[in-house]
Amino acid sequence: MSMLFMPFRAGALSLDHRVVMAPLTRMRSEPGDKAGALMREYYTQRTSHGGLIVSEATPVAREGYGYAGAPGIYDDAHIDGWRAVTDAVHAGGGRIVMQLWHVGRQSHRDLQPDGGAPVAPSAIRAEGDAYTPNGAAPFSMPRALELHEIPCVIEQFRQGAARAKAAGFDGVEIHGANGYLPDQFLQDGTNHRTDDYGGPIENRARFLLEVTQAAIDVWGADRVGVRLSPSGTYGSMSDSNPQETFGYVAEKLDEMGIAYLQVVEPRIKGTELVAESDAVAARTLRRAFRGTLIAAGGFDSASAEAIIRAGDADAVAFGRAFISNPDLPERLRRNLPLNPYDRSTFYGGGAHGYTDYPALETVG
């Protein structure tokens, strides 16, 4: 029997198979950054009985936006739209956790309240583009958060976690990967602070761990996950000793007893497969993290099966394949062909490239 279709647990979540839907930014929210009917249809299509969905990254603050059109969780007005999504997933027998997001410096003034500078641990500009209402634009120069502001940002994560609970999610995931704000605090290429949140790894890891604890205070540890990208360079990220940095964080998260750790492999940069390589990130952090580990980044059915059989991961998150195959778990179970994806429709737009990919029952 395929290991992909054996039951497992991620903290309090009991799941029937190990094909996880990865968090996928699609930028299809309604005015006011609300989840609407189109998003509900998208998630309903991708629900599998006993399967786990990680929602698209969802900003906990207006300052946390880097992609116009992403749905929010920074206001109580967002709860009802997301509740319609979670109700639909639960009706299909699935489970869904919300990924809580703050992009930090990976933003543009056009996305910020009153046109202000994006915030970051240090005033170091990132390479790359934000998705503004007027199209792609280079990331703006950020300003360093003042020490007294940091507890306010942590509180925004806590409030986002509480709203996710009110919206009927089964848990939350802290987006600590891909060069976003928690990752910016963590890595010394982007954190040049000299206060309690900079310098040695114990200080640089403090922001991520305090954000995680804020979510735990709302949900309990067994319904909180964390996503890391130990080898990621997206957003011009770097660290002088990533093995020590991420090993330390993995140990601390293990001590906190979180539901799962999701680890992004280095062969993915953004949405691009940049290299065919072994899954080294999950294998490395497995030594420090004894809980449920979900590997992500460039997997197919065979490589997913292999990493689970090797014991380096308990489940695998699929991204691009889930975009174009709403019934991906069933296709993998039956070893059936996959629909190709259309990259031009990944970010923004309407139903085309979002909810119009054919499922098995529509193709015979």
Q: Where are the domains of the chain?
A: 3-363
Q: Are 16 and 46 in contact (CB under 8 A)?
A: no
Q: Which two tokens stand for residue 302?
A: 């065979």
Q: What's this model's pTM, rounded to 2 decimal places?
A: 0.96
Nearest to 67, CA basis, from 113, 20, 15, 136: 136
Strand partners, 13: 10
Give the pLDDT score at 279: 58
Please report, for residues 187, 231, 265, 346, the alpha-carbon distance to residue 274 in angstroms, rounded to integers and kept in the order given.
22, 13, 11, 18
The span from the CA of 221 to the CA of 210, in Å, is 13
The two beta strands, 224-228 and 172-175, are parallel
Q: Are 295 and 312 in contact (CB under 8 A)?
A: yes
Query: Which residues are CB-neighbours of 209 under 8 A, at least 6 positions away?
Result: 249, 252, 253, 256
Q: Which two tokens stand for residue 103?
A: 């992009």
Give the pLDDT score at 274: 53
Give the pLDDT score at 120: 98
Burial of 194-203, coded b for 16+ CB within 10 Å and e otherwise, reads eeebbeebeb
Averaged pLDDT, groups of 10, the chain, 364 residues long: 94 98 98 98 98 98 98 98 98 98 98 97 97 96 98 98 98 98 98 98 98 98 97 90 96 98 76 54 92 95 95 96 98 96 96 97 59
The two beta strands, 13-15 and 95-101, are unpaired
- For residue 151, count other CB atoms closer than 10 A to its CB: 11
H or E segment and range at residue 164: helix 150-166
Give the pLDDT score at 275: 54
Give the pLDDT score at 364: 44
Write the CATH number of the domain with boundaries 3-363.
3.20.20.70
The span from the CA of 209 to the CA of 251, in Å, is 11
- For residue 305, count other CB atoms closer than 10 A to its CB: 18
Nearest to 165, CA basis, from 91, 225, 219, 220: 219
Write the DSSP string, 221-279.
Answer: GGGEEEEE-TT--TTT---S-HHHHHHHHHHHHHHHT-SEEEEE-TTEETTEE------
Phi, psi (degrees; rounded to nearest 5) at 59: -65, 140
Give the pLDDT score at 287: 92
Please report, for residues 25, 87, 180, 347, the alpha-carbon distance to residue 131 in angstroms, rounded to integers and kept in the order given.
11, 30, 15, 9
**What's the chain's length in residues?**
364
Q: Which two tokens stand for residue 314?
A: 């308990």
Q: Are 96 and 53 in contact (CB under 8 A)?
A: yes
Residues belonging to the active site: 180
